Every structure is written in structure tokens, then in C-alpha cells.
Structure 1
């Protein structure tokens, strides 16, 4: 048998060191722990078992609280030293795990994986970080500094490589910018994300690789780009029109003077080092061309992975494009003159999916880049003396590469011999070996670099002798052109998603089911469907409530409508109010009730038992005062006590059974605009800018929040509570969040007053004057809490009421309509 223990120190109770003291919520805590618990407000304390805010005699201390005699007697009867120590150690090993599980559940995001978000959040560039001018050139905007990385200089040129194309979505739900980028990342295959991470990390670690700054999208539902630095000293700018390369041809023949040799040597050495930097990160480009390299500000040569991805995608698109044979051959030859792809990679692309292609026996690895690097060096050396596309030469053979490959290599060797002569025999031999059909017979990048370096100086020491073994002991690497990043994927459109669903989405979702609100949150990642547009009221919607199989709505038109949750038809209308109906609640008891209040102080109790009756079961009026404007808010406790927030600055407790006034609570200095009940605590928000907490046991005040907030005090228009969290919405579009009565965060969500708010778990829904329903996630730990925007629903009218219930989102508007939304 496990002995009862203190929920704080996890020690078994006794009559000396761990005396159990009973709090007003009914839970027991040992006397020693009560002394140490923090007190946020005078004469109150948070119960560590249920987190309820309860009265606590601060002056007298815990000794004035009653002992739990039954617990003491039970522990003393079963306290043997062995069983006690065993139970204690067992409980101590289990309880922290239970608490960590609770914390893990609390920290888990309903929208995306926390691991995914923590991995990629620092790579998401702000939306205003990149500006694209009229000429299509991307530059840094106003935000040039990002957490975890630094971007040097302002208005730097940028290179944008598309990573994921977006489909055309007609969903009414619009993602926030960060949420859209996270959705794109989450929709990518894991292999593609791994490749993207390798590219980003390589750019950060290797100076010879153009730096990648992060991920950016031009707008929500737009294409996701990889943003990298862009150097304007590109190879195409300097050597794209170099017809004869560094070897000048005159009437007497070819001439490779010392100036040309030195220039070629310096550039060739830089090219080798940039490819070598790529291999050090375990990456194989798979395709290289002049456009894939550029000069940085100091004259160093860098490989541009963005260009590698873009050029590789051009070739992949030409291979897989839906063109005729002639068009396909022409497109491939055009790309082949710009991009040098080794035979084994080329055959892999052309015969994708074939198990016995001609060159399948040759592995694709670092040696594949040696072939491409050799072609780039040859292109610089001899210019346009030869056609550089094997595909162009193999047109007559139906793209049979092997039939024309040997002939092409022989032509290369012949041209090199004519141009270089016998002085640069080693260079000629090395470059020809780079074009060997077998990747294993090609020299390594280190060998090519050493050969070129020998042109510049005769080294006395071999500095790179052991480097080849270190880099190329694993001769595979990850080939980018064959990877998922070069297979530019497109987000499926809403229509395509619809076709994948069995039977499609019905006109409406059946009501009355046990649909969880978590399902609605999960469906948000795919968008939102407007199920129904309910019309019938003649004025602004003021309240919504769900109970049983009904949706109840109140309006300034002095009526309460009852709607079926099955087909959203209007079943009945309660009439009788003489003033605007301002608030509405549903009471779930043996005889379910609907209670409404109006601006004249009237309180009406309606029976919901079928058949629905026209007359209220009971009605009464609070004391009228011409200076104040009736009742503004309603809520009900579990003990079936009705609370009203009034224009006379009071909160009144009423008996639902007979309408008698139980008590009146004072303290607010203005209209009590909103009420909520949670864990036997009543929360009241007011136009005076404060939230007051009241004990439901004796209706005494417990705490005041927001009274000491700096800045101008703004009216509170809505509050929502869920266990530890309290959120208050203000008329200036701002929300404030408290956790266990401790202020955590403040954030502006709307351009104008927030009239409506609802919270389910960690998901917060807000709406107001700016005609938007915004959806946020509240996340964090004991040290901080963050409000992360997930998306919004653009609306055609001012949002007045929001209710999330039964897997649907109900929104009331000032234009008299009620819309029902469902996650896809």
C-alpha cells in the first residue's frame, strides 16, 4: 500500500515533520512546505495539488489551518521503516516522471513538432528581411540581423533558390508567415529536410561556399526560397564569352603564355578548393558549370549551392518534362552546354528507375564532381574549341551516351595536345584522367589542385599528402542533383486535397458527435472550411453557447435563437426581452437551461426540454439605476450559482432556482465587462483595466491583476481562463497573459479593439474591430511564455463573439450573421 504523501516534497505524512494541513479546496499539504510556498497576493496561496487560488492565513501561518487527522492516523498505522522507505523511493522515482509528462504535454505544440520548430526557427528570415526590386534582384531589407547568425552589410545582393512551390489554395484560413514556413518544412520529405540542413550547415562552416542566410517566402501561400549571398563577380560575367580560353590562338598556332598560365593556375586552384570545401561537408554537387562559381569581395572563389540547385533542377525538369522527343533533346542539349554532368550521374537521371542501366556499375560520389570540375577547367582553358554537351553529340544515336563519349574524349585530348604542347604534360594528363569513364580511375580533387599548384610553384613540401585519405575514405557523399531538393515539389491545391479524401468533404459535418477541439486544431494546418452561414437575427450577435444538440445565439434584436447542430437549421426563437440581449450561458444539469441577460437588467431562464416553450421558466431583474447600463456579462459555477457583471461596477451572485440575490461583490471602478469561472475561482474583467479574482466559497476577493501595469490603462473587453493561464483582451488590440497569477507576456494582435476571445488548450482565438479572427499558440515554460501567431481568418464584418466547441469554430459578427468553421 502506498502511503499518502505531500504533493510538494513527496514525503509521507506524519505527526512531527510532515504534518498534513487542510486547505479550503480540500487538499492537504505538509506544514513545512506551506511555509515555503510563494504568495503572489496577500492572504492567498495556490494549492500545489489543484492549483486553485485559496485563502491562506498569512499572519497566523499554516499552524492555524486544521490538521488532516485521518491522514496522520493512516500513515502512523502503516509506517514500518522498510515499507516507508520503499514507498518513498518508489514514489520519488515515479512522480517526477509524471510531472515531466505533464510538462511535455503542456509544451507540445498542436500545430507542429516542437523538435522541428526548435531546429528550424532560427533559419526563418523575417518577412521584411528580403526586398525584390523591379528588376527581380533580391536585397536585404530593413531586418539584417537574425538570432544565431549575422548578415554583413545592408542592401547586399541575394540569391534565391526555390525549395517548395505552393499550390493555389482557396481556404478561408490564412497562415501567419512563420506558420506558413513551418508548414512548408513539415510538408517536405525528411530526406529533403536533411539535405537542406546539410546545405545550410555547409555554408556556415566553409568559407569557400556561398553563405546561406536562411529560408524566406515572399508571402503566405508563396514559394519557399533558400536565401544565399550573391556575388556579382560571377564566372559567367568574366569568362562566359571567353571563346578561346586562356590559350590564345594566332596565325602561328596556339600560345599559352606565362600570364595565361598564371591566371589559369590561380583560378583553377580556387575552383578545386571550393569543390573540396563541399566534399568536406559530405556533399556532392553532381553538376557544375561556370555559373556555379563566383568571386567574393576578396577575390576568393566560392561555389554557389543555390545555383547548383537551380541548374540541377533545370536539367531534372528537362528530363521529366512532358515534351516530345525532339523538344526534350533540344532542352537537354541546351542545359548540357551550361552544366557539366558526369556520365554516371547523367545516365542515372536519364534512366531513373532502371535497375540495369549501362553505367549503373559506376558509383556516384566525390569522383562525379571531379568529372564536372575537369570540364569547368577545360572550358576555361580552351574555350569553345569543342562542344561541351555529350548529349548534343549523341543526338544522332538517340541519346546513346556511350556511342559518342569515347570520340568526345579523344577530341578533348587532341585539342589539349595542340594547345598546350609538351610543356604542361602533367596538366594535360590530369585533365584527361578527370574525364575517365570510371569514377574510381579519376584523380581526386586534391590531386587536381596539387597539379595546378605545381604550375605556379615547385613545392618543396607536400602539404596535402594526407588530406586525400581523410576526405575520400568514404567515396560516396550525398549528391544534390539526385536528391529531393532538386525535385522541386508543389503543395497540393485544395482541389487536389479534396480528391484524396474518401468521398470528399460533405456540405456540413454531423453535429452531436464527440468531436474534440484538438481535432479542429489539427485540421487548421490544412486550412478551414466554412460549413454554414447562419442568418436569422436582425442585429449584432452578442453571445453564443453550445449545449446538448443545440447552438444558442443572442442578439441586440432582443431574441435568442436555437439552432440544430446537426444541420444548423433554426429550430426556435426565444422572445420576451425588452432590451438588447447582451450575454448568454448554457447550464448543463439534470434539467438543462439557457440563461440570457439584457441591457435593462433582465435575466431570463429558458427551458430546453422538448418541445421548446416560448415563455421563460423564470425571469427577474436586478435593481435598476439610470446611471448604469444593465448586465454586460454572465457565467455559471459548478454549484449552479449565476454571476452577472453589471454596469453599476458590481458582480452579483444569484440563485438559479428562485432568482434570489445571494451577494454583491464590489471592487471594480467601472463596468464589469466579462466573467469566467475556473477551479472554484471567479475571474472578472472590467473597463477599469483590471482582472479581479474571487473565491467561490465565500465570494471574498483573492487578488487583483493588472492594477500595477505600466502605461495607460485600457479597458478589458474579454477574458478567458484555462487552468494555469489567464488571458485578457483590451480595447487597444493588445492581450496580456498571466500564468498562476504571474504576468508572463503582452502582445498586440489586432488593429483595434478585441471584442471576442476563446481558448482551447494552448490555442487562442481572438477577433474584433479589424474584421479578423486571429489564431495563436501559447507556448513556453516556467521561465517564459511566447504568443506565436499561427494564422487568421479574414472576415467581412466586425467580430463580436467567438466560441470553439465540438471540433468547430463558431463566430458571431456585427452584420447579424453567424459562421461555422471546421478544420479540414
Structure 2
């Protein structure tokens, strides 16, 4: 009689080395093999007998699965000596092979690899000064794309073995220069975060021998397509004393403002184009201007072709101007491997950085403004000494200034001076992008409407960048450049002090609230989630964000870089909390009733420390809110109308609190009291000592109020936000005031000091001041931040306001000492 064997190691089952454990599909596998079996998905294992994916308790291990008593009794009764102990090591050795590629490397790039059938190529042409191949993406959306060649696949061998499509792409990426690969990753991530940059769908290749492409969204049209034939520019002819076309200048200023903002978005991601042209800027579907990463990268190929065709170096720059791709003097010399000490006395090289793009931006603006009148004859590159070269260059700048004066007259003196200053041979003397933008803004907004200009939110950028045009994605110096430090510290534009960003970290919430009298400044736009933001928390030097994309992201509070992603939820993550203890934790709850505890000690782990699920019934719709107390208790507000208290140390249910008549949408803990808000329009207070009910607020006027979506508690004040856009305020459990703040539901709220921050469906963050005494409380509208999407999460902490949106983004704001709401 043949005894039952484990389908993996082929060893007969016994009660010592091969204990049979029953999988949910009904098949039995020995406990030792299950412990070593590879898991491709969390909490799931593929049965080796039927290949079915079944649930598997990863944390408890195979010992938590039931034993197959019948098989075990049968094996023990017959021939226990017929075991095959030596076969285990041979069979299981197949799982100990080295991976085909680094797991970390694969994890970093796999999500950027598009399926082989995701792109169809329409046009493979790539002219000398043309654009890259064109195509369409066919997964989920049907959009036009441009294909930017990144690197060619290594030549294949003549063996019968062929790598899969994904494996070939991974091997191609592994073979890239490390610096080039780092910048490729930077470009991909930047395209996700910045709305002013054309979207990058991912990486794709057509075949084994073809290049690896970066697939970029192709916008409705670029400036070259729309204004390339505008020979006289927007100002048209202005000879013979004809009046300047004010409409043309206004159109130019509107486009110029968009160009500045698009270039600023590129700089905020640490990227420097190095060379720009009309084709590098595109119009999105709403008419806004964005940087076309595809054309910015193709610009390098255009320049290389120009250099290869022209042997006389002095003609290269003139050829560039003639073909309307504008490269600054310092970038040009770098590309031609020239030393430029003659252009910058006392230094061996002129620094290449954000000022280089300002030069190129000025040329693009000049091309739009005066058209073909832009001088094309440039300096003599083969001058014997620096003075000859400098004099020749200055002569060209003077020609530009003369043409501008002739075309614009004296009415637009500030614009002419700013553009000419952008052409200064020394990048350190050029204005920043924000200065150019401010000049244009001041011309658009008349002095009597200056207050409207002050409503703008400005952005502070990083201090290093990558130059796209310099060969293999050349890394710029990490030390702070002159032009960027000036950009960050411009008090007149962003209202900051010399150590503004650093000082903000040490500001108290009271200082932040006091500084609101000068307005708000946007510090960072965080992109990375794939769905609506559902919660925010701060602790341990991290910003934590949860989303309907079933993940929790971890961001650094130092530079707001993305550090880690917690994955494991199978449903939308509805809420999260940070637990500041000796072992810091993050706890998240999802719409399926799952509660996950993540360790926040470095290094951050992918798997949760613990997880468990609420018991479901017919009323159940998941966890909607979370709160924690000092006694190691976790409180969950659920769709079954109850509040449950759990010990997050051992996952045991302490008690269930009932009383609400609908979903418990929000929870808060303050001074040993648990506050619960519900869709039934009431707030219930519970004692944390014995979890007994204390009182009910809002029950007396149920007809007046809609469902409660958020509550916030600060010492003696309690504020509730409702679906109809109204808030109600209690002091010491006594009703004080109510006020309508939004046109629509209020989804998020945060309170610090006297300031209340609310946001919701009407795409506004409203700031109120709560003032008064024990007899009267007033809610004063303080200001608002218009947003581009529905506000779903708000958190004010340590001098910063964090706002989460339905469009997957998170923005970071701070108060500005030179900004007026």
C-alpha cells in the first residue's frame, strides 16, 4: 500500500517532520513545506496540488491550519518507517535558487513597465529636427503619445532561450548608466507629481531589437504648432509710429505667465532643461501650458545632430537660434567641451543651473514677442581672447535690446529690461523664473488691482537638479547654487526670510496661526497615491497618508520626499492614526473591516506587525474612523452603527458601544473622553475609564442638521462639520454657535489654537477664527485657499497645513510673513 505523500517533498506524512495541514481548497501539504513555500501575494498561497490561490495565515504560519487527522492516523498505523527523509532537501532546493534579478530593483521599476500590447505605433519617423515617434496607448484610455528613445536593448545571442518582455526591459534598465537611470526615475516620478509637466505613462518597447521608449502623453498642441508661423510675433509691426497692438501684448503676457509657471514646476522637481524651444511647451486639454518632457529630451538629439553637421564651432549657436532651440552660452560651451574662463573671470567654469533655463526662457519669450526680428547672428566663438568674445556677445544682446525698444517703445520698459537681463552672460546676474513671472504678472494686473495678485500661492523648490540636455542626464552639483538660493529666498515674491524653510520646522502652531495674517504659501505638492486621499497623520518625523488606493504612504517631514508605501489592505483605507509610544505605530482601517498595525521604527517594513478584522453582519460597511487612547486602546467607528474598543497590543475586543442610529463617521479623544460623530446627526461622549455613555449632543434638533462627517476637539471646544456645509460649536458641552461655511459637504477639519481649517466638496479650504468668552463665541471667516479638487483630509501640525484631495494629491502650506489673503 502506498502511503499518502506531501505533493511538494514527496515524503510520507507523519506527526514529526511532515505533519499534514489542510488548505482551504481541501488538499493537504506537510507543515515543513508550507513554511518554505514561496508567497507571491500577501496572505495567499497557491496550492501545489490544484494550483488554486487560497487564503493562508502568513503571520501565524502553517501551524494555525488544521491537521488532517485521517491522513495522519492512516500513515502512522501502517508503515512509519517508509519515510523518505533525504528527499526533502533535494526537492526543496529548487526554491533556494538565486533570483533572476534583484528583488529591490524589480520592485522599483516593475510598475513603470507598460504591457507589450499597450502601445500602437502610428509614425516611426524621426527627422533631423523632427520629433520622436508617435503612437497611442490602448490600456484603459485611448490617448496619443510620443515615444522617447531611452536606451537600446543589448544584442541577443543565438540560443533558443528568449527573455520575456518584462525580463528584457529589466535587463535593459540594469545595463544603463547608473546616473542616467537615476535621472530617468526622477523624471518618471516628477511627471506624476507635477500637473505642469506632461504625463509619462511608463516604459515600453516594440520588439527585441528596438529601443526602450519612455511613453509620454502627447498634448493638444505645442507653441511651435500654434505660433511657429507668427513671423512678426504678438506685437506685430510697429514701424512708422503705428500704435502697438495692446491685445497682442496681452495675449503674449498670458502665455508668458503660463511658460514661467510650467518651467517653475520643472525646477521644483530638481530638473533643468538646459535647452528650450517653442516645441518644449504644450497646451493641455484645458488650455494650460505645461512642459513637454518628450521634446525636452529630444532637444538633446537635435543639438547633437547640429554639432555633427557643423564642423565650425562658431556656427553652432547661430544654427541653434536659426532652428529655434535655445541653449544658453554656458550650456553650449559645456556641450562643446569648451572652457569658459573667458566668460566668467576668476572661475574655471560658469555654473549650469536654473539660471541657464532662464536664458532659454527669455529667448522663447522673445521669439513669441517679436518673431523673426530676433537677431540670429551671434558672437564670434573663435575669438583670441575673452574681451573679444564678451564684446561680441554684448553686441548681440544690444541688438536684441534695440529691436525690443523699437517694437515696444517706452510703454513696456520693465518687460524689456527684464528680458535683456535674462540674457546676461553670467547666470548669477540673471533674474529667477519667479522674477520674470512677477514682471509679467504686474503688467497683467493693474496697480489698482494689486490685491488680486497677492492672492497667488508661490512655491519653494529644491536646491539641486539634473540637466536633461547634458549627455547622459548629467547630475548638477549638490551644493546650493547662487541662482536657486536666490529663488528660494526672494522675500518680495514668496515672503520668506534667509532660513525660512528651516525656521518653519521650529514654529509652534500659535506662530503659524499668527502668521496667517500675512497669508499662506504652498511649499510642496506631493504626488504618489492613485486614488482619493482619505486621511493624514504626523508623527516620528513622518507624514502619513491613507487613500482609497488601499495603501498608506510615508513621507519625510524634512524634504517631503516619499519614503515608503505600506501595502496589504484589500479594501479602501478609510482612516489612520499614529501611535507615539516606545515602539511607534501606524494603525489603518479599511472599508472591509480590516485593521492593520504597521511598525514605524526604521527601517520601515513592508508587512504589517499585526492585523485583524471586525466581524461582519448584514449592516456592516467597514471601518469609517479610528482613534487611540493612552491605555493602549484602539477605537473604531463602523458602518454597523457601533463603536468598538480594541487592545492593539493583542487584538482583543474590549467592548462594543452602541447608541448611534447610523454610521459612526468620525472619532476623537480628548481629556479621557471619547467623542463619536455619526450620520444620524448626533455626537456621543463616552468615558474612557469604563466606556460608559456620558451625554449626547445635537439630539434635540435632529431636523436642522444633516449627517456629521468630521469632528475636532481642542481642550474645551468641540466643533462638528455637517454634510450641508454647516458647523456647530460647543464649549464645555454647551452649544455656542452654528454657521454655514461651505457650499456643500465638509469632509475634513482641523483646529489649532484659535484657527479652524475646513475643506469639502466646494474645493475650498476655509480658515476661521474662533473668538469670544464663556458666554458668547463667534466664528469669523479668516480666509480661504481655492483648490483644484475636492478637499478630503486636513491636518495642521508644527507650523504647516497638510491638505489631501480627491485628485490623489497632498499639498503642504505654511504661513507667509509677506502675503495677504
Same fold, TM-score > 0.5, yes or no? no
Question: Normalising by structure 1, what TM-score?
Answer: 0.45
Pick 1 or 2: higher relative contact order, CA cutoff 8 A, min separation 6.
1
Question: Normalising by structure 2, what TM-score?
Answer: 0.45
